[in-house]
Amino acid sequence: MKNRIRTKDSVLLRVFVEKPIVYSGCGRVPYRKTDDYQFFPSKQALETLKTYLPALKEELGDRLRIEVVDPRNILFFFDVLKYGVKGTNSLWIIKDKDGKVMKVYKDTPPIRDIKNILVRLLEENNGHAGLSAHQHAHNI
């Protein structure tokens, strides 16, 4: 629940991605042991999240709120309908401090694009975000 605590000038990165679970008869199939993305298309998105999110959180700290949501979660039903979230692709939504949607990516965008938008939003909120967008682009 820590990532749901809203600081005054934080921005939100909400990622819709389905956790792949397969049931066969009475037993579960361990998807982690397969690299066949044809049967588990969201597995690649989950693998990308494992690298993107810690890097973003480390760099931006508490100014970034991150929510990873399974599109089957009924609490986000209207967002799923509004943005046409599919279980086979991820959907990335970036909101500013006032909750206004600033960018929507269908499928996983390059981390550089996400960082640039987040840094720009944080600079607009605070007047600075530690690094200028120009300095930040060279650190990626």
* Residue 116: closest CA among 46, 60, 65, 76: 60
- pLDDT tens, residue order, the chain (140 aa): 444 444 567 899 999 988 766 555 566 656 555 555 555 556 777 888 888 999 999 999 999 999 999 998 999 999 999 999 887 788 999 999 899 999 999 988 999 999 999 999 998 877 544 444 444 444 44
Distance from C-alpha of 76 to C-alpha of 79, rounded to nearest angstrom: 5
Q: Please say whether the structural domain 2-108 has been given the CATH code 3.40.50.920.
A: no
Whether this prediction's pTM lies above 0.85 is answered by no
Backbone phi, then psi, for 6, in 5-degree steps?
-95, 120
| Axis-axis angle for helices 111-126, 41-60 (nearest 10) | 30
Distance from C-alpha of 117 to C-alpha of 113, rounded to nearest angstrom: 6
- The first and second tokens of residue 17, run together, are 């991605």
The domain locations on the chain are: 2-108
Which residues does residue 15 pair with via DSSP β-bridges, in sequence order?
Answer: 68, 92
